[in-house]
């Protein structure tokens, strides 16, 4: 076997080139910008996902590249648990919603995270009113033109009304149970496998009323197929100001869909402050407000302290509501 030896200067050149390439690759690896991710605990395409993507686009000049990572499942619990257990470095944040941080802790027999202690609030993002709607033909037949009319009819005709929801423990179910309790009436709850089947049942006249998301119900309200009796926010919604609030008839009634941003609990305060400033500015931008209005969503940009206090109050409120409904996921 014949061995071939390269001249020493070629060997030195190859060695130096190899070291140079290694150095360049190491430098490039170090210099690569860090990427932030927002964990959305629901499937792509829904209002929460759409608004999270809008926010990611709006904050890129301040925070750099922000990607959306969808982790659906478990009623939102799977994705939120990813946030709770992520390194507290500000690079992984996520969506906290009424379901994941106020309803699920009382609905599920076992939770993978503690909604009260495992997160650092950044800011609330949005609030979407729910609306009490009736099939328009049913409302006309029963001569129901207002929330007071509905309550009066229910009291005069016990056990004749029913309402639909997207399932046991859903926002529509809990709103219905809270309404029945506050109004002192009875209506049979009919759970469906999701919000769309529940809405179809209402449109076809199979059920009398339901509590639907305003963004979902608005098209049928405008077309005259559904009659909006009241929104469930404490005050009237700016996107449909002619519809009264339930609280105008039942004082203190307030139940709506909301979501915001949280980080792992141990995230440093200065990091939370930086994130809050960036996302609050994005929420208040004219472009974002225009997009939100199309979704029937109202921006709620606040401080970490305000969002934290709000989530705690919602957790307390829904404990009573969920237990009264009897809904349970084990």
Which pLDDT tens digit goes with each residue over 148-182? 999 999 999 988 999 999 888 888 999 999 999 99
| φ/ψ of residue 66, rounded to 5 | -125, 125
Structural domains for the chain:
36-128+257-325 (3.40.190.150), 130-248 (3.40.190.10)
Long-range contacts of 280-284 (CB under 8 A, 24+ apart): 280/123, 281/59, 281/62, 282/55, 282/58, 282/59, 283/55, 283/123, 283/125
pLDDT tens for 286-324 read 999 999 988 888 899 999 999 999 999 999 999 988 998
Place of tokens 């401080």: 303
- Would you put residue 168 in left (φ > 0), alpha (ψ -120 to 50) or beta? beta
Q: What percent helix, strand, coil does the chain show, rounded to 5?
A: 50, 20, 35
Report the candidate in 190, 167, 179 with the shortest Cα–Cα distance to residue 103. 167
Torsions phi, psi of 214, nearest 5?
-60, -35
**Is 193:165 a contact under the CB 8 Å cutoff?**
no
Q: Does residue 5 carry a pLDDT above 70?
A: no
Q: Average pLDDT for residues 78-87, to the nearest whole number?
A: 98
Is the pLDDT assigned to residue 136 strictly greater than 50? yes
Residue 233 has pLDDT above 90, yes or no: no
Angle of the 304-325 helix axis to the 171-183 helix axis, nearest 10: 70
**pTM of model > 0.85:** no
Confidence grade of residue 283 (pLDDT, cut at 50, 70, 90) = very high
């Amino acid at each position: 076997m014949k061995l071939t030896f390269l001249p020493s200067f070629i060997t030195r050149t190859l060695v130096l080139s190899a070291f140079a390439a290694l150095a360049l690759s190491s430098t490039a690896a170090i210099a690569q910008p860090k990427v932030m991710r927002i964990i959305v605990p629901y499937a792509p395409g829904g209002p929460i996902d759409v608004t999270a993507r809008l926010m990611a686009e709006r904050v890129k000049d301040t925070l750099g590249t922000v990607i959306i990572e969808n982790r659906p499942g478990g009623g939102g619990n799977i994705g939120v648990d990813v946030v709770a257990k992520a390194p507290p470095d500000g690079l992984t944040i996520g969506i906290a919603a009424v379901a994941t941080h106020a309803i699920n802790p009382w609905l599920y027999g076992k939770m993978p995270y503690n909604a009260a202690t495992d997160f650092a609030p950044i800011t609330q993002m949005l609030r979407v009113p729910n609306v009490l709607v009736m099939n328009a033909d049913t409302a006309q037949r029963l001569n129901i033109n207002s929330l007071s009319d509905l309550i009066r009819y229910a009291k005069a005709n016990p056990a004749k009304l029913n309402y639909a929801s997207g399932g046991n423990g859903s926002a529509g179910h809990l709103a219905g149970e809270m309404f029945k309790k506050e109004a002192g009436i009875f209506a049979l709850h009919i759970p469906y496998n999701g919000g769309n089947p529940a809405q179809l049942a209402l449109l076809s006249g199979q059920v009398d009323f339901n509590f639907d998301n305003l963004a979902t119900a608005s098209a049928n309200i405008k077309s005259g197929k559904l009659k909006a009796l009241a929104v469930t926010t404490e005050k009237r919604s700016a996107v449909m100001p002619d519809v009264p609030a339930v609280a105008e008839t039942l004082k203190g009634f307030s139940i709506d869909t909301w979501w915001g941003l949280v980080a792992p609990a141990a995230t440093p305060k200065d990091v939370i402050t930086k994130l809050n400033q960036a996302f609050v500015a994005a929420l208040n931008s004219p472009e974002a407000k225009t997009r939100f209005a199309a979704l029937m969503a109202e921006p709620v940009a606040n401080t970490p302290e305000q969002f934290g206090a709000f989530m705690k109050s919602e957790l307390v409120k829904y404990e009573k509501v969920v237990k009264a409904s009897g809904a349970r996921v084990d």
